[in-house]
């Protein structure tokens, strides 16, 4: 049942405080689907427990389940062609570049409401402890693993890129071992290969980290860590600016925590680069 229909069905049970939460959820479901119960309650200017009680009144076990339902609903109501049309219709005769900049800036400002410093620190520490880092993405998100592959290698990490499919993907995953980390990217739909990759990682004792937007609750099995942040309105054409910012935060956090490992590796790279350039 759609969220709006659930609200209508349970209308008689909702208090004034519940109604304030509902207005926040319906005003922008894409953004609200990422907010914690406390953050949502703060926006609605009600007690944090109100969001949890509302979820239970609507038949959910808790606010986490309500949030997952919102995310699932957003995913299932949009597709690529509609998102492009919606973006173009929104811009009309204005500047497409200016519209994208404004949209991305708004999404970037909201990251702090959705991703905590503790989550970034935990993911960075997990990567630092990895034997190898396996980077998975398909489609447009391969841009992110190409960037992360280069930056992690420059910080003295051993990496493997997983952008293949079928047998070729399996051949590369064969090297995954206990103690390794899978860093995966998925946006708007579950990419082919992600589910069996996560299943294999769990089976052999490798750790998985997923960087995503509204997709998190639909990914099975659940990764050990999920960093989720909205990229903007789900019905519009979206960029990779938000997950790229998260990637940059991860790289810089690693450099802060690794006791000089990254800086030493970059120093060796600079020296080797000069030596190679000097060869005639």
pLDDT in tens, 220-278: 899 999 999 988 765 566 899 999 999 999 999 999 999 999 999 999 999 999 888 77
Q: Evaluate if residue 141 carries a pLDDT over 60.
A: yes
- Res. 84 pLDDT band, cuts 50 70 90: very low
Burial class (CB in 10 A: 0-12, 13-18, 19+), 171: exposed
pTM: 0.72
Helices (H), 12-160: 16-27, 29-32, 37-44, 49-57, 63-75, 80-91, 96-114, 117-128, 142-154
b/e map 37-71, b = 16+ CB within 10 Å: bebbbebbebeeebbbbbbeebebeebeebbbbbb
Which one, of 111, 112, 103, 141, lies nearest residue 232 by Cα?
103
- CA gap 200, 76 in Å, rounded: 27
- CA gap 233, 144 in Å, rounded: 21
Q: Evaluate if residue 162 carries a pLDDT over 90.
A: yes
- Res. 192 pLDDT band, cuts 50 70 90: confident
Pick the CATH number of 112-276 from 3.40.50.2300, 3.30.420.140, 3.50.50.60, 3.40.50.10490: 3.40.50.10490
Count Cα atoms within 13 angstroms, Cβ side, for 235.
Answer: 10
Summarised one tens digit per residue, pLDDT across range 59-75 is 999 898 888 888 777 66
Q: What share of the chain is helix, strand, coil (3-state, %, to 5)?
A: 60, 10, 30
**What residues contact 252, with CB distance under 8 A and at least 6 apart?**
none
pLDDT of res. 22: 87
Using omega within 30 degrees of 0 as the cis cutoff, is the peptide bond preceding 221 cis?
yes
Pick the residue with more confidence: 217 or 36? Answer: 36
**What residues contact 153, with CB distance under 8 A and at least 6 apart?**
159
- Res. 200 pLDDT band, cuts 50 70 90: very high
How far from 36 is each of 111, 114, 115, 212, 250, CA to CA, in Å?
A: 12, 7, 10, 16, 22
**Under CATH, what is the fold of the domain 3-75?**
Arc Repressor Mutant, subunit A (1.10.10)
Q: Evaluate if residue 6 carries a pLDDT over 90.
A: no
pLDDT of res. 101: 87
User: 63-75 and 49-57 helices cross at what angle (nearest 10)?
Assistant: 70
DSSP helix/strand/coil, 95: coil
Structure tokens at 2: 């759609």
DSSP element (H, E) containing 78: none
Q: Domain boundaries in the chain?
A: 3-75, 112-276
**What is the rounded average pLDDT of the residues 8-17?**
86
Weakest-pLDDT range from 5-19, 64-78, 153-167: 64-78
How many other CB atoms are found less than 10 A from the CB of residue 146?
A: 14
Structure tokens at 199: 């299943």
pLDDT of res. 269: 92
């Amino acid at each position: 049942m759609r969220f709006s229909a659930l609200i209508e069905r349970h209308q008689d049970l909702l208090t004034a405080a519940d109604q304030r939460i509902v207005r926040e959820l319906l005003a922008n479901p894409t953004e609200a689907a990422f907010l914690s119960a406390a953050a949502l309650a703060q926006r609605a200017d009600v007690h944090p427990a109100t969001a949890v009680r509302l979820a239970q009144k609507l038949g959910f076990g808790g606010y986490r389940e309500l949030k997952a339902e919102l995310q699932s609903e957003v995913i299932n109501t949009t597709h690529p062609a509609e998102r492009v049309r919606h973006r173009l219709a929104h811009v009309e005769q204005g500047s497409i570049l200016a519209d994208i900049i404004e949209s991305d800036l708004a999404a970037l400002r909201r990251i702090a409401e959705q991703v905590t410093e503790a989550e970034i620190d935990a993911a960075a520490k997990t990567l630092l402890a990895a034997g190898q880092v396996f980077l998975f993405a398909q489609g447009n998100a391969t841009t992110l693993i190409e960037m992360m592959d280069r930056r992690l290698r420059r910080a003295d990490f051993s990496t493997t890129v997983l952008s293949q499919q079928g047998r070729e993907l399996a051949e590369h995953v064969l090297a995954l071992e206990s103690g390794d980390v899978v860093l995966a990217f998925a946006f708007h739909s579950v990419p082919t290969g992600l589910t069996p990759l996560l299943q294999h990682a769990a089976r052999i004792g490798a750790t998985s980290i997923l960087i995503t937007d509204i997709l998190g609750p639909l990914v099975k099995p659940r990764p050990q860590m999920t960093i989720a942040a909205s990229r903007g309105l789900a019905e519009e054409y979206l960029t990779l600016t938000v997950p790229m910012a998260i990637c940059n935060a991860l790289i810089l956090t690693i450099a802060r925590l690794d006791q000089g490992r990254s800086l030493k590796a970059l120093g060796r790279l600079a020296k080797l680069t000069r030596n190679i350039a000097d060869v005639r």
